[in-house]
Structure 1
């Protein structure tokens, strides 16, 4: 089986999802309390990051954790409707030619996997099941239909992607034709995922990834 692996932020979607999430709660009157709660809890971490006391990875992980925990007390349906609203606004900003390529690969019987640090309900709202076979993202936990803020939140970061993918296919009992598979990303942080396949594609790559993609003669999407 051939697979096509897609990163989301900076790849299928040319912007940072987290910036969109912040703007949503900042400007929406129904979520002003959520925004204020997030800012109070995240501000000390951000200050620590600016003072180089907190690593970038820790700051990014805590940003998503504090964001979703700011919805404490809300139900699953309300939270998923919130992400659906955001998805509607984001859909038109995705890279159309890359989305078209994803759909074409699906028709060509590639197993399509979306691997992203974005929240799962947002990714699910953007990509219907007929176009994407499996989604890896940051999972939101619920307990009896309400946000479970006590359960450990784990943001999916680049260093986790390859293990998640390998475990997923091993559990399915699938033999993957990695040499004829594809992976798409904009960031050097996804280098392990890109090197997993025979056909890596650097999408509007950062400086470090551009250098490697050029040296290795990888396809570059601009």
Structure 2
């Protein structure tokens, strides 16, 4: 069934910061011993930026709080941190799309482990993020499958559509992101909007 969609990235789009680093800070506050992991996290971030190790390794290091936080605490992260860092202008646009009958989909490279709590928002129909492995129903800081960015994000969106027998109405659908790294996702719709980290929605992507 062909449907109108509004697809949103999360970091620096739905929220004003990087949710991974916000989660790391939240995790240290909840479990202070996590601070002892920060030197190795910083080393891996630098090595990834230099191209010496894969970015996946650095991201998994940043995800260390997931090993220690309960589901209730992850919900607390959503309530106390993510909701307090929402991009108000983008959220107004999201609600407008919902009121116009569009299917609202969040698609992010950040973990579904905490992004899933956005389902508490009645305006949001679906959430796609990086999957994190679980052992004995407990998260570990390892990515399951691929990091949900670029081509993988496009693949996951297409899988989402196929599972629900949905098709995007290209001409009348919208997508929002802060980065051309989301070009595969943005290419799914005609109306593509760039979100500035400091200025909100600043205009359409052109390439």
1:35–1:70 CA contact under 8 A, matched in 2: no
Q: Which moved more, 1:124-133 or 1:96-105?
A: 124-133
- Greater radius of gyration (CA): 1
**TM alignment of 1:170-209, pairs within 5 A:** 170-204=162-196
Given candidates 14, 20, 23, the residue that maps to 1:21 is 23
Given candidates 26, 45, 60, the residue that maps to 1:65 is 60
Shift, 1:71, TM fit: 4.7
Shift, 1:9, TM fit: 0.6
Query: In the alignment, what sits opposite 2:44?
Result: 45
* Aligned partner of residue 105 in structure 2, secondary structure: strand
Shift, 1:124, TM fit: 2.5
Change (3 A) 1:164 1:93: same
Q: In structure 2, how many angstroms separate the alpha carbons of the residues matched to 1:211 and 1:107?
A: 22
Q: RMSD value over aligned CA atoms?
A: 2.9
Shift, 1:212, TM fit: 8.3
Residue 4 of structure 1 pairs with residue 6 of structure 2: yes
Aligned residues between the structures:
201
Change (3 A) 1:119 1:152: closer
Shift, 1:102, TM fit: 1.0
Shift, 1:70, TM fit: 5.5
Deviations 1:150-173 (A, max 9, x none): 784643222311121122212322
Deviations 1:48-98 (A, max 9, x none): 3355423xxx22x223322335554x5xxx432222222222312211121
Q: In structure 1, how many angstroms separate the alpha carbons of the residues matched to 2:143 and 2:187?
A: 34
**TM alignment of 1:98-117, pairs within 5 A:** 98-117=90-109
Query: In the alignment, what sits opposite 1:158?
Result: 150
TM-score (norm 2): 0.81
Moved over 6 A (4+): none
* Aligned partner of residue 22 in structure 1, secondary structure: helix
* Aligned partner of residue 109 in structure 1, secondary structure: coil
* Aligned partner of residue 191 in structure 1, secondary structure: helix
TM-score (norm 1): 0.76
Change (3 A) 1:90 1:152: closer
* Aligned partner of residue 13 in structure 2, secondary structure: coil
Shift, 1:195, TM fit: 2.1
